[in-house]
Amino acid sequence: MDRCGGGIAAKRAKLSAGGEDRLSALPDDLLVVILLGLDSTPAAARTTVLSRRWRRVWALLPDIRFHLAPGADGHRIRKVLEAPEAPVLSRIHVTTEGSAGSAAAACWLPAAARRLSGALVYRNNIVDPADEDQLGDSIQLPCFEVAAEIELNLGFLRLALPPHGSFFGLTNLSLVRVRFDGPPHLGRVVSWPRCPCLRELSVHDSSGLQHLSLFSNTLLQMELRKVRGLRRLTIFTPALLVLRVGSSFHDNDPSEPNQPIADIIAPQLKSLVWVDVYDPRYVRLGNLEQLQQLNTHYFFVYGQHQYERDMNGYCLRLLKQFQALHTLDLMLVYPKDIGGSQYMMGDIAMLPQIKSLNLSIINKAHDFGASSFHLLRMCTGLTNLFLMVFTDSNLESTCPSGCICDQSTSWKTEDLVLNHLEYVVVGNLQGAEYEVTFVKQLFKWARVLKRVGIIFTSKISESKVKWFRQAIAGSSRPETCVESFIHHGAGKRSIDK
C-alpha cells in the first residue's frame, strides 16, 4: 500500500482512522471516476497536492474540461492533451471568453483532433458581440478523423474549414454563431465521401454560408435556422427523415429575381419544418410521399400591410402542396393592435387531411375562438388536438370592449361535428372568458372525447382557476376524463386532487 510522506501534503491525504491514505490505495480506474466528479480538468490537476500517487492519475482522465479559460490557457490545454500518459479521449469540453478564443483554439485544436474519439464541445462567449469585425483570426478547424460528435458555438468568431482530409467517424455536427470564412464550402466537407457516417447536421444563427450543396446517404436529421444570407440550397439525402429550415432566406434582397432557390431530394422524409420564404417556383421539394408531419410558416389572423400578406402567402402555398398528413403544426399570430385590420383567416380555404393538429396561438389577449373554429371545421377527421396559447403576460387577460376580434360570433352557435376527436390538450390559459367559451364549445363539438387536459399559466390566481373550473363544470360528457394542471417551471402540477 502506498504511504504519503511527511508534511502538509501527506496530512491532507491521511484519513483519521489509523493515518492511512486509503483513498490513494484505490485502483486507477476508481480514482479516475472520483476525479471525473470535479468541475474541471484544472481542479483535477490540483489534486496532485494530495500525494505523489495522484500526480499521474489526473492525466488518465478520458474527459477534459476547461471552463472560461483565458486565451493564454490554449497552451495549457494543449499540454494536457499531449500528455504521454493520457488515454484516448471520450470528451473534450472547452469554454473561452472574448476575441482571444481564436488564438487559444489554434493551440489546442490540432492536438484534440489527434486524441479525440468521442465528443468535442467548444463554446466561446463574446462579451460584446456588436464588435464582430475585431474578433481576431479565423479558427482553423482540423480534420477529426475519429471523433463522433462536434459542437461549436463560436460567438461569431470566423471558422475556416479544412480543405482536405475526412471526418470518418463523425455522426453529429452542430455549428452555432459561426461566421464561415472562405472555401471550402460546408457542403463539400460534410458530404460523402469526406463525411461518410454523418447522421445529424445543424447550423444556427450563422453567416457567410451563401451556398450549401449537400450529398449524403447517411444523414437522418438536418436543421438550418437563422443562416443569414443563404441564397442557394441543394440537398440530396436519400435517408433523411427530418428537415428543419427557418429564417434563413428572409434576409435576401427582395429586388433580386428568383429568390430563394432550393432543390431538395429526400424521398424518405417524415417531418418537414419550413418556417421561411416559400415559392414552389424556386423551392422545389421533390417527392415527399412519406411525409407525416408538416410545420409551416406562421399565419397572421389580422393584417393591414403587405408584410402580413407576404408571410401568409408562404404558409398558404406550402399547405397546397399536400393532400394528406398525419400531423400539421400551425401558428396563428394576433397583432397587438388589430383596429382597422383585415380578417385574413378566409384565405385558408382548405387544409390537408390530418389526424393530429398542433395549433399555437401567439395572442395579444384577443378572442381566438373564431380563427380556431375556422380551422377545425376543415379537420373533421381529427383525433388529437394540442392548442397552446402564448399571451403577453404584461397585457390584460381581455382585450378592450368592442374589439373586432369578437365581431364574428357565429362560431359560438354554429354546429360542428368532430366525431373522431378523442384527445385534447389546451395549454397556457389565463382564465379569460373567451377561453371558457372555447373549451365549452370543444366539449359540444367533440362527441367521443376520452381525455382533456387543461393547463393554466403559472401566473394565474387560485380564484381564477376555481372560477374557470366551475364555469366549464357539467359541459363534458360523463365518459370524458378532464384533468387540470398549472405550469411550474419546466413541469406542471395537477390541481385535480
Whether residues 246 and 347 fall in one domain: no
Whether residues 278 and 363 fall in one domain: no
Boundaries of domain holding 491? 292-497
Contacts 24+ apart (CB under 8 A), 474-480: 475/439, 475/440, 475/443, 475/444, 476/443, 476/449, 476/452, 477/443, 477/447, 477/449, 479/450, 480/443, 480/449, 480/450, 480/451, 480/452
Exposed/middle/buried for residue 5 (C-beta within 10 Å: 0-12, 13-18, 19+): exposed
Least Cα distance to 245 among 263, 224, 272, 271 occurs for 224
- At which of 270, 288, 306 does a domain end? 288
pLDDT of residue 64: 82
User: Does the residue 172 lie in any domain?
Assistant: no
Alpha carbon distance 166, 175 (integer Å):
18
- At which of 240, 262, 288 does a domain end? 288
User: Does the residue 255 lie in any domain?
Assistant: yes
Question: Which DSSP state fits 324?
Answer: B
Q: Which residues pair with 159 in a beta bridge?
A: 139, 180
Number of domains making up the chain: 2
Alpha carbon distance 327, 183 (integer Å):
40
Residues of the chain with pLDDT under 50: 1-18, 49, 254
How remote is the C-alpha of 336 from its chain's centroid? 27
Q: How far is CA 438 from CA 227, 366, 372, 413, 435, in A?
A: 39, 13, 9, 11, 5
User: Does the residue 154 lie in any domain?
Assistant: no
Exposed/middle/buried for residue 8 (C-beta within 10 Å: 0-12, 13-18, 19+): exposed
- At which of 272, 288, 304 does a domain end? 288
For 427, the 3-state DSSP assignment is strand
Whether residues 267 and 369 fall in one domain: no
* Inter-axis angle of helices 433-445 and 462-472, nearest 10: 30
**CATH, residue 487:** 3.80.10
User: Does the residue 387 lie in any domain?
Assistant: yes
Least Cα distance to 487 among 447, 442, 457 occurs for 457
User: Does the residue 375 lie in any domain?
Assistant: yes
User: Does the residue 132 lie in any domain?
Assistant: no
Whether residues 267 and 368 fall in one domain: no
331-388 pLDDT tens trace: 999 987 787 889 999 999 999 999 999 999 998 778 899 999 999 999 999 999 999 9
Alpha carbon distance 118, 63 (integer Å):
9
**Residues 210 and 180: beta-carbon distance below 8 Å:** no
C-alpha cell at 85: 500518459
Whether residues 359 and 483 fall in one domain: yes
Q: How far apart are the two ends of the chain, measured CA to CA in Å?
A: 59
Whether residues 410 and 460 fall in one domain: yes
pLDDT of residue 300: 96
Whether residues 261 and 304 fall in one domain: no
CA angle at 87 for the pair 85 and 92, rounded to the nearest 5°: 115
C-alpha cell at 23: 483513498
Whether residues 398 and 250 fall in one domain: no
Question: How many helices (H) does the chain have, and how many strands (E)?
Answer: 11, 27
For 370, the 3-state DSSP assignment is helix
Whether residues 472 and 343 fall in one domain: yes
User: Does the residue 158 lie in any domain?
Assistant: no
Whether residues 497 and 361 fall in one domain: yes
Whether residues 351 and 483 fall in one domain: yes
CA angle at 387 for the pair 473 and 347, rounded to the nearest 5°: 120
Least Cα distance to 221 among 179, 248, 247, 190 occurs for 190
- What are the DSSP E strand ranges found in 79-148? 89-97, 116-125, 139-140
- Strand bridging mode 384-391 / 356-363: parallel
Whether residues 352 and 443 fall in one domain: yes
User: Does the residue 393 lie in any domain?
Assistant: yes
Question: Which DSSP state fits 19?
Answer: T
